[in-house]
Amino acid sequence: MGTVTETYFDGATAQPPHPAARDAYAAALSEGWAGPGRLYTLGRRSRMLLEAARQSAAASLGVSADEVTFTSSGTQAVHAGVLGVIAARSEPGPLVHSAVEHSSVLHAAQWFEARGGRVAAVPVDRLGRVDPDPLAGVDGGDEASVLAVQSANHEVGTRQPVAAVAAGAGDVPLVVDAAASLPWEPVPDGWSVLAASARKWGGLSGAGILVVRKGVRWRNPFPGEDSSIREAIGEIDVPAAVAAAASLRAVVAEREELSKRARALTEQIREHIALTIPEVELPGDPVDRLPHIVTFSCLGVDGEVLLTELNRAGFAVSSGSACASTRLRPSHVLQAMGVLSHGNVRVSLHRETTEAEVERFLEVLPGIVESIRRLAR
């Protein structure tokens, strides 16, 4: 029996390493392995590489280099961004976030609440979109320490009205988790803090980016000295940071073309699923969405079984019903939207996805769903 070639359809979790990331990492590994805070020659070389990477990332993001800090992950960037803004307040108000934020935001909120803080989750509509003025319905919303609203949803792709939210937030700092959208499109203006993960755009695991705009107060929320952001974050993987900056620069240069191609493929997937699979729901905004994500939920189908059968057929997909493969549970995003949250599959494309791969997936998917339903009867 031949081995089935695996087709990777989980680009929203991690993109395959970009060639620019591979080349930059290999080049930096021989020069940037020493601690960049040291005064000897090897340390200075690492520091120079790190500073060059920071300047490159800042140019790609359209911000100042001194606003950019590399982190060890996107999760660390989110935690430092959300909790650091709160820590800078002498009398913290509530932490307000949309109900469909990534688990990293929810965990930061739980951590804050366990230490006596107030937390408010703002509901979304059936498409997964938050109200443009989310603080209006929150008790004490105008005194909030921070408002966390993602640029676009990581499970269903729905874009959030970032510019309108920022305008409505007034003086409340807006923290935007841009991990899902940054590889595909610019982030709208108005945010105070931006967090992202390099592996989402073809960088390597072990690198994230935190951007704190000038004038935004930030204080170290973690154990250690009340120091600058970079000192509070601690030592980072310099070659990974260099790779993150190089791949981000490459992705920004090519993302308009790649986004157009990905959107054509996801439109094809959406249309085919709607036509060939009965009792299926395609949650999220059908138009105002990220170009690379398609999520669908099949009534009467166990999500774990569907993922397993697709894997056997050679397709690596994920489910919105889990933050990790070992913790399958209904998706908080889909539940907040009020849509079907079982039998859920997220297909997310990447820069190397081909039309042939999509066509093969669409050929086998209806039969797999039907066979699962038949066995469950």
Tell how strand 95-98 and strand 119-122 pair up: parallel
Q: Which residues contact 121 (CB under 8 A, 6 or more apart)?
A: 96, 97, 98, 99, 109
The CA distance from 353 to 237, in Å, is: 29
3 state SS of 174: strand
Under DSSP, the state recorded for 161 is: -
Which one is catalytic: 323, 328, 362, 364?
Answer: 323
The CA distance from 123 to 151, in Å, is: 16
The CA distance from 71 to 74, in Å, is: 7
3 state SS of 287: coil
Structure tokens at 66: 């001194």
The CA distance from 202 to 248, in Å, is: 8
Structure tokens at 33: 């392995």
Would you call 17 exposed, middle or buried from its count of C-beta atoms within 10 A (0-12, 13-18, 19+)? Answer: middle
Structure tokens at 162: 């970032």
CB 153 within 8 A of CB 130: no
CB 88 within 8 A of CB 218: yes
CB 306 within 8 A of CB 318: no
3 state SS of 66: helix
298 in catalytic set: no
Residues annotated as catalytic (active site), given as ranges: 323
